[in-house]
Amino acid sequence: MTTTVTHDTTAAGEPAHGVDELVARAREIFDDLDFGTARAWKAAGENRRVVAFMPTYVPRELIHAAGMLPLGVLGGGDNLEVIHGDAYYQSYICRIPRSTLELGITGRLDFVDGFVFPSLCDVVRNLSGIWKLLFPNVYVRYFDVPQTFRKDIAGEYYIRELRELRSGLEELRGAPITDDELGASVAAYNENRRLVREVYGLRAESPWLAPTSEVYLLMRAGMVLPVEEHNTLLVDYLAATRAQPRAMRDNGRVVISGAFCEQPPLNLIKAIEMSGCYVVDDDFMLVNRWLLDDVSTEGDVLTNLSDTYLTRSMENAAKYQPDLAVKGKYVVDSVRDNGAEGVIFAAPSFCDPALLERPMLETRCDAAGIPYIGLKYAENSGQMQPVREQAGTFADSLKLWSTS
């Protein structure tokens, strides 16, 4: 079962939408902390529901199959002043739970019917409980994922979790989710994953054509738009980008690692690019890249989702890896697969999964002879000059001394 995506072209075969127009639309969605696009979607039909989720991964296919809009909530960014949220969490944790609470308490998420909190860290787990207390009329689900990858153990457990999520969404919907609906949703997200891979592949091959500051905005738009609209947006961007030549610069090629949950300010991404770095791989938006292959629509879809998660999902600091012999290998593989010359370890302040794993990743890079630097940020970091200077010095050193 496949989904065909079409896009508009002019009579001469040129893309109907330019890069600037497409990126401007994605930027408008990114800046809108009131989620006007999602609100409009809900208001456009009877009995429409919106189910929010936090990073890093949830099976959005189930939400979509229920006829609901999966809405990615990735914090408040650098344009939200956090006042109420600080009353619920101590100061020595990352900022994203506080800004997420601020979005809820100030009514910016008052149209949301459900909220799924993935198994990521203690902070996110506790936030699911706080959300239940603050918003008792909202369907709240703490979605746990297996920490072992044996099919005979983890597979049975994860399928049970998927069934429970399906049951909760059916109760919210007031009707069963059929297998045909699940299959159609998996097909739509398979197409989305294919297009996402194509965009990231274009960036890795020719990063001057698809700057990361643009690619990031496009991926963030996918957290708000229905998957079908996001697929069209990606198709249009690919066509427009290939039709618009851009000058190549003598920049260093880097991988950014550690930013899988709390997102960096957009200006931080731009500062790294302006410093002389081409970002050829990153872990900013893992939710639409977590599964590396298509999920089969044949047979039991929940089993297929489970099998793909267990056997073909991304390695990163948010995913438990018990085998120390391969732990951290994914960073070295990313450098080699994407033709990078070095790594920028960028993680949110107080992010335990990223910061605790960083020494192991650095050891891997040392053994492979890969240069790296490290920095920390918060989603509301404002001063980018130090980041630009640090990244610029790193880019210069890559060009001067790299043997890659």
CATH no. for residue 169? 3.40.50.11890
User: Is there a single domain that holds both residue 142 and residue 258?
Assistant: no
Residue 53 confidence (pLDDT): 97
Which residues form the domain of 403? 249-404
In this prediction, residue 90 carries a pLDDT of 81
Indicate left, alpha or beta for 67 from its phi (over 0: left) and psi (-120 to 50: alpha).
Answer: left
The residue whose two tokens read 């770095």 is 277
Q: Please report whether residue 105 resides in a domain.
A: yes
Average pLDDT value for residue range 214-238: 98
Q: In whole angstroms, what is the distance from residue 339 CA to residue 330 CA?
A: 14
Sheet order of strands, 69-72 included: 69-72, 50-53, 114-118, 139-143
Q: Tell whether the model's pLDDT for residue 160 goes beyond 50.
A: yes
How far apart CA 205 and CA 203 sit, in angstroms, is 5
Last residue of a domain, one of 177, 196, 214: 177
pLDDT of 1 above 50: no
Q: Of 185-194, 211-220, 261-270, 318-327, which gets the smallest average pLDDT?
A: 318-327
Tokens of 309: 């998660």
Q: Are residues 126 and 270 in the same domain?
A: no
Domain of residue 321, CATH code? 3.40.50.11900
The last residue of one of the domains, among 142, 177, 212, is 177
Q: Judge whether residue 12 has pLDDT over 60.
A: no
The pLDDT of residue 319: 83
Task: Quote the mean pLDDT of the chain.
Answer: 92
Instruction: Quick: pLDDT tens for 32-57.
Output: 999 999 999 999 999 999 999 998 89
Non-local (6+) Cβ contacts of 263 within 8 A are: 55, 74, 75, 77, 96, 220, 284, 379
Same structural domain for residues 254 and 402? yes
Sign of CA dihedral 73, 79, 80, 82: positive
Same-domain check for residues 56 and 156: yes
* Residue 137: CB atoms within 10 Å: 5
Q: What is the DSSP letter of 225?
A: S
The verdict on 255 and 401 lying in the same domain is: yes
> What's the pLDDT at 10?
52
7: in domain: no
Task: Using the 3D structure, point to which of 177, 205, 230 is the last residue of a domain.
Answer: 177
What total of structural domains would you count in the chain? 2
Q: Are residues 136 and 271 in the same domain?
A: no
Half-sphere CA count of 51, side-chain side, radius 13 A: 28
Q: What is the DSSP string of 120-157?
A: S-HHHHHHHHHHHHH-TTSEEEEE---SS--IIIIIHH
- Summarize pLDDT for 325-370 with one digit per residue, the tens: 888 899 999 999 999 999 999 999 999 889 999 999 999 999 999 9
Q: Answer yes or no: do 172 and 262 share one domain.
A: no
- Regarding whether 172 and 261 lie in a shared domain, the answer is no
Assess whether 258 and 398 both reside in one domain: yes
User: Does 211 fall in a domain?
Assistant: no
